[in-house]
Amino acid sequence: MDDVTFSVDGHVATITLNRPAKLNAVTPEMADAIVAHVGTCNDSDTIRCVIVTGAGERSFCAGSDIGELDRYDTPWAFRNRPDYCDAIRSLLKPTIAAVNGYAFGGGLETAMSCDIRIASDNAQFAAPEIKLGWIGGGGMATFLTHSIGPSNAAMMIMTGDPVAAEQALAWGLVSAVTTQAELLPRASEIASTIATRAPIAAETAKLNLKAAFAMPQEKAIEYERDLQTICFATEDAAEGRAAFAEKRAPLFRRR
């Protein structure tokens, strides 16, 4: 059985961490598999949205498998390992994290590397690395600070204690909380909606949101206008205008 599974339903791909007996903790081999599946998604003209989730009800992802960390011969080898969070962030397509159970350490960073996060009511979020003698290295501080504010981020990173789903919702770490049974259907519903939108516009919207974090405001607005111009010049934009005029649903082709 593959420890990372990949499926496509229409325009929506799903990457599932499939090691529930180990709380979906990620091994180096799983990281390699995630990198490969991300490449498949990025190369596809038909995949328009990607769901990332974990198998079973107990855990989305408990982070890197700590028992595997001693496989790295030197700190430099550890520093330069293939990183699954980097891979998720490199997805060109919009991404949804469907968080069931534990999202700890690298699992929390994986969820925060997705564009949209929804959680089941049993979800818990934590940055527990400090309890083991280190800190997160997959974007923990920057993502938490932007998502929930500096004080709440400091609380999570400096204590390592978990935060329940409803608190995560109140802080803005997730967009919605569902029952466990409703989690994947809700994620699929959101993904299907995104998949009906113009694909190039969705991908440039993702770039635009990243720029809003990284750039000064005036530069971000300039960049947004450039992205808008690129979208406006596509065949899909012409189709959107034609469909609006003809009062019909548009047929977007990622062109």
Q: Classify residue 252: in a domain, yes or no.
A: no
Other beta carbons within 10 angstroms of residue 184's beta carbon come to 18
182, 130: one domain: yes
Give yes or no: 218 in active site. Answer: no
The CATH number of the domain where 114 resides is what?
Answer: 3.90.226.10
205, 184: one domain: no
Pairwise pLDDT comparison (134 vs 3), residue with the higher score: 3
134, 76: one domain: yes
Residue in 29, 68, 129, 218 annotated catalytic:
129
* pLDDT at site 207: 94
* Intra-chain end-to-end CA distance of the chain, in Å: 37
13, 42: one domain: yes
51, 117: one domain: yes
Domain span holding position 72:
4-195
Q: Where are the beta strands (DSSP E) in the chain?
A: 4-9, 12-17, 49-54, 59-61, 95-99, 102-104, 116-120, 124-126, 163-164, 176-178
Q: Classify residue 144: in a domain, yes or no.
A: yes
184, 236: one domain: no
pTM listed for this prediction? 0.92
pLDDT in tens, 39-90: 999 999 999 999 999 999 899 999 887 766 666 667 777 776 668 899 999 9
Tokens of 9: 């339903």
pLDDT in tens, 91-143: 999 999 999 999 999 999 999 999 999 999 999 999 999 999 988 888 999 99
* pLDDT at site 143: 95
Q: Classify residue 251: in a domain, yes or no.
A: no
Give yes or no: 29 in active site. Answer: no
Whether residue 89 contacts residue 139, with contact meaning beta carbons closer than 8 Å, is answered with yes
- Mean pLDDT over residues 231-241, rounded? 92
Angle at 242 between CA 241 and CA 244, to 5 degrees: 65
Q: Classify residue 236: in a domain, yes or no.
A: yes
Residue in 29, 57, 68, 109 annotated catalytic:
109
The yes-or-no verdict on residue 165 having pLDDT over 80 is: yes
187, 216: one domain: no
What's the pLDDT band for 4 if we cut at 50, 70, 90?
Answer: very high
* pLDDT at site 75: 74
25, 147: one domain: yes
Q: Classify residue 255: in a domain, yes or no.
A: no
Q: Classify residue 15: in a domain, yes or no.
A: yes
182, 59: one domain: yes
* pLDDT at site 64: 84
Q: Distance between CA 54 and CA 149 in Å, rounded?
A: 27
Residue pointed to by tokens 């596509």? 234
Residue type, 17: L
* pLDDT at site 72: 65
Q: Distance between CA 255 and CA 54 in Å, rounded?
A: 33
Percent of all residues in the chain with a pLDDT value above 70, rounded to a whole number: 95
The CATH number of the domain where 237 resides is what?
Answer: 1.10.12
Q: Classify residue 241: in a domain, yes or no.
A: yes
232, 146: one domain: no
* pLDDT at site 134: 86
Mean residue pLDDT of the chain comes to 93
List alpha helices for 80-164, DSSP H. Answer: 84-89, 106-112, 140-148, 150-159
What is the Cα gyration radius of the chain? 19
Number of domains in the chain: 2
230, 159: one domain: no
